[in-house]
Amino acid sequence: MTAPDLTNPLLAPWGEPHGLPPFAATLPAHYEPALHWAMADHVRELDAIAGRAAPADFSNTVLPFDRAGAMLRRIAMLFQNMVAAETSPALQAVERTVAPLLAGHDASVLQHPGVFARLDALMTRRDGLGLDTQQLRTLERIHLDFCLAGARLDAAGRLRALAIAQHLATLQTQFTQNVLADESAFELELTAADLQGLPDSVRAAAAQAALDRGKQGQWIITLSRSLVVPFLTHSTRRDLRQRAWQAWVRRGQLAPERDNAPVIRQILALRHELARLHGQAHFADFALHDTMARRPQAVMDLLQRAWVPALAKFDRERQALQAFVAEQGGDPDVQPWDWRHWSERMRAARHAIDDALVKPYFSLERMMQAMFDCAHRLFGITFRERQGVALYHADARMFEVHSATDGLIGVFISDNFARQSKRGGAWMNEYRYQSSVDGPVVPIVGNHNNFNKPAPGQPCLLSLDDLRTLFHEFGHGLHGLLSNVTYERLAGTRVLRDFVELPSQLFEHWALEPAVLARHAKHFETGEPIAAALVDKVLAARRFNQGFETIEYLSSALLDQALHCHPGAELGDLDAFERTELDRLGMPQQLAPRHRLPHFLHLFSGPEYAAAYYVYIWAEVLDADAYEAFVEAGDPFAPGVAARLLRSVYAAGNSLEPGAAYRAFRGRDPDIAAMLRKRGLVAA
């Protein structure tokens, strides 16, 4: 094999601090040749494992497989992060070319017959190998990866599974780029007269969005969630709310050339075919095999247990809101583009609180210090910002993460502001996984949000929803940063899909802890701490509108299950399917699913959440019950509880079966009633 081209910064040694990627030196043209070389090198490593004459054991088969492909992983992780966080037309063109190549390579790796034969032999005698807990778990997880990728299929089946993986990667890339293009292209231009009802923070964000698009002195509403949702909440212009809402729910369909409906139909047909290859009736059966739920019926049982009381709660909310609108002289025929506006006005009237009242206390900088402080008090780690390191965008910031006992344990990149080159939503990613088999390898973790960037010299002020998002993604970040396992396959967030949201959703609880707010929530102008009475109002209002919030989420999760449990490969008109399914569920006409199918990135930008969007409420069963352990201890930072949480959840990665990990922390299985109480769906 030829030596790597060391003039390509991706193939040369990465000399940046802590092994950070060479962001500044890397151009879109560098990726394709680097990935080709790294894929070939990975195949060479696999062939060497398969060709060993000695009988298979952990040290000559499992361990080298876990190490293999290190060069490819670091390049591919960088590439995948950049197409999400800082893309460009040139990078998107590369993505369209390499996405199917990477998917095909990944599928072929997990079908390598020689490597699988050795792994399969080890699995048949695993009980007699004298493996420790992590070694056995690593063997089992890698063997299952191979089986799910089709290693047990016949030759024709393996080839077809590989072709499906490649085709899906192409379609998923197209889907994602279509949504991003719609979000970037839409502009609702406002005049000064159109700003009625908008608080100063939303006006400033709209002015900044216009400035970013070269329209100084104007105001623009984009489809960034952190801008369009506040506009829908505060604007008194019903006609403009309707225009913004209709564009928001039609992302992925705003232009005929970017219509995602035919893309979705192809994705679903290929997933159905893949499931049938594996002997499953539909894709949900196949996708849920390696989850805590294991079967679609368990998912549906949970969703229905929440759906029924949520519908009842929403009906009470609807009646109360219609009465309130009538009292205020408005049209009680509340439409979907009206709900956020009027419910916020009712919340302000009933609870004497609104976002405009609390946002001055939630500056991004102070809230980042709050989340760092919570991590320190819970887990004993500190975050130290390092300046002058070349990252991929001026808005990105780097922090070194230190433990009092172990020194540097990770690198954290924080990227908080929306821009046209960044996909919507919020997410955590990793540039490098933690491991220790060859000495300590510290993880490199990134958090990405889409908050509105303030004008120069002004602070970014967060809504309550933004604050929860900040803490949620940081919970994912901690899951990666605190990982303490030996083998990379078990590291950090590489856990079962319906367990991965536990660390993130659990960490949200500290965002509104009174002790945390008293310490960190200070007015951005005066420095005055938030008043205890205002905190009480925030907490009292937490269950307000929860029927709406729960139905909005659950309808998307139920649509996901209906799609992926469909017994046929062809669904026809997706809009009609969506309407029919929502009508069957009794979906109220005053709201839409949180994610309509044409822009449902969780389902169609990749395979991770397909048939698995339920994981958020599954994890909420866990997180609500888990946080009650701190409540029972009488201290949100109870040292003993925090130590168990660190050991069994945040540091354990996939070294423990998730049910066993939860029981090791809580001492028992979770109780669904805690989630229902948290959402106010049953009496506390």
Active-site amino acid positions: 473
Report the b/e string of 547-581 with b at 16+ CB within 10 A. Answer: bbbbbbbbbbbbbbbbbbbbeebebeebeebbeeb
Distance CA(112)–CA(100), nearest Å, equals 18
Distance CA(84)–CA(105), nearest Å, equals 21
Distance CA(18)–CA(443), nearest Å, equals 10
- Name 415's bridge partners: 448
- For the residues of 562-587, what is the DSSP string, one character each? HHHT-SSS----HHHHHHHHHHHHT-
Q: 152 near 505, Cβ under 8 Å? A: no
Give the chain's length.
Answer: 684
CA trace torsion 337, 339, 344, 347 (10° rounding) = 180
Distance CA(658)–CA(473), nearest Å, equals 20
Which of 468, 358, 363, 477 lies closest to 415 in space, CA to CA? 477
Which of 109, 107, 101, 251 lies closest to 173 in space, CA to CA? 101
Distance CA(331)–CA(241), nearest Å, equals 14
Distance CA(169)–CA(592), nearest Å, equals 28
Distance CA(652)–CA(646), nearest Å, equals 8
Token pair for residue 454?
């303030």
In degrees rounded to 5, what are phi and psi of residue 115? Answer: -65, -40
β-pair type (188-190, 381-386): unpaired
Q: 35 near 72, Cβ under 8 Å? A: yes
3-state helix, strand, coil in the chain (%, to 5): 60, 10, 35
Locate the DSSP E strands across 205-309. Answer: 219-221
Q: 263 near 524, Cβ under 8 Å? A: no
- Direct distance between the N- and C-terminal alpha carbons of the chain, in angstroms, rounded to an integer: 66
Number of C-beta neighbours around residue 311 at 10 A: 18
Token pair for residue 579?
């309407």
Type of residue at 405: T
Q: Which residues are CB-neighbours of 410 under 8 A, at least 6 positions away?
A: 401, 434, 442, 443, 444, 445, 480, 481, 482
Q: 254 near 181, Cβ under 8 Å? A: no
**SS3 assignment, position 132:** coil
Give the helix/strand (H/E) hosting 376: helix 364-379
